Amino acid sequence: MQRNIRNWNLELIVFLAVFLLYIIFYILDELYPYYLGVKSIYSLIEFSYNKTLFPSPPKFSDGWHYYFGTSIFGINLLPAMLATLKLDLTLTFSSVFLALLIGFIISFPGYYLRNRIYSKIIGLFNLSLFSMPYMVFILILMYIIRPSIYGIIIGAGISWFPFYIRRLINLKRPDGNLIYLIKYVFKKLIPYIFSDIGTMYAIINLILFFGIYTGNFLLVNLGTLMYINGNGITYLSIGMWWVEMFPVIFLSLFVLSAHGLGYGIRRSGIYGKE
């Protein structure tokens, strides 16, 4: 077990480092946003320090804002990448929490009461949620409510809660009272929560990306990692590697660390074997 725990120490460090940056920049935006170079964390255009739209390469002579160079619209990559955490991770954590809450409320009564009929009905219901009509329903729902930040959370959470139902109805039930079973269930779900945070982080970025590029004017200029490298392929083709590479590496590291952390916890057996 000790060897397995050591195997995911790196993922834990990366995950906690990003989470710490999220907390720091959330507080900075609330108390001292001018240090970030913006009046509002939600408008990346305000990260533009240059009069030209042409990206500038990384440099270390003009302060930390320029360490990663600039992206489209002269957006300074380093402060913008850090600032996107406030929106991206807030949406991510909220969506995962909503999915967990809905899945738990629906499936836990049958799990607690050991009611096979209820559990069977929930199982069939959950199976239908992975069908094409449900996916179409989610797409329509997100299309209708997409201008709203809360709409994104609701849409993403509703699309993800069937996974928690499936995990819970397949979980073995030990003997114990209500409080013990609630603690037991959440301990077993912790690895999946970490993995889902990584997956949802990528999904949220894609939602915001396609919201911007499908004419959703209410989402334009939001603090999202996908936005600051939206034209990255074009710039990459002409040698401006920093426009694409830094945001992609940043996003990938967090997604992989969250998945690796969840997988490592499951492999370590620190919460017991199923």
* Domain ranges for the chain: 2-52+59-268
Q: How far apart are CA 76 and CA 58, in angstroms?
A: 9
Which residue has tokens 């201008």?
Answer: 147
Q: How far apart are CA 122 and CA 131, in angstroms?
A: 15
- Residue 158's nearest CA partner among 89, 98, 97 is 98
pTM above 0.85, yes or no: no
Instruction: State the pLDDT at residue 143.
Output: 65
Would you tell me how many other CB atoms lie within 10 Å of the CB of residue 188? 17
On whether the CB atoms of residues 211 and 220 are closer than 8 A, the answer is: no
Helices 149-169 and 132-145, packing angle to 10 deg: 160
On whether the CB atoms of residues 130 and 165 are closer than 8 A, the answer is: no
CA dihedral sign of residues 163, 166, 168, 171 = negative
On whether the CB atoms of residues 174 and 112 are closer than 8 A, the answer is: no
Q: How far is CA 102 from CA 108, 114, 138, in A?
A: 10, 19, 15
On whether the CB atoms of residues 268 and 4 are closer than 8 A, the answer is: yes
Query: Residue 97: what residue type?
Result: F
pLDDT tens per residue, the chain (274 residues)?
444 545 567 778 888 888 888 888 888 777 776 666 655 555 665 566 555 667 788 888 877 878 888 877 777 888 888 877 888 888 899 999 999 999 888 888 877 777 666 667 776 766 666 666 666 676 667 666 655 677 788 888 888 888 888 888 777 878 778 888 888 888 888 888 998 999 899 888 877 776 654 445 444 455 667 666 666 666 666 777 777 788 888 888 888 888 888 887 777 666 555 4
What fold characterizes domain 2-52+59-268? MetI-like fold (1.10.3720)
Tokens of 55: 């990206």
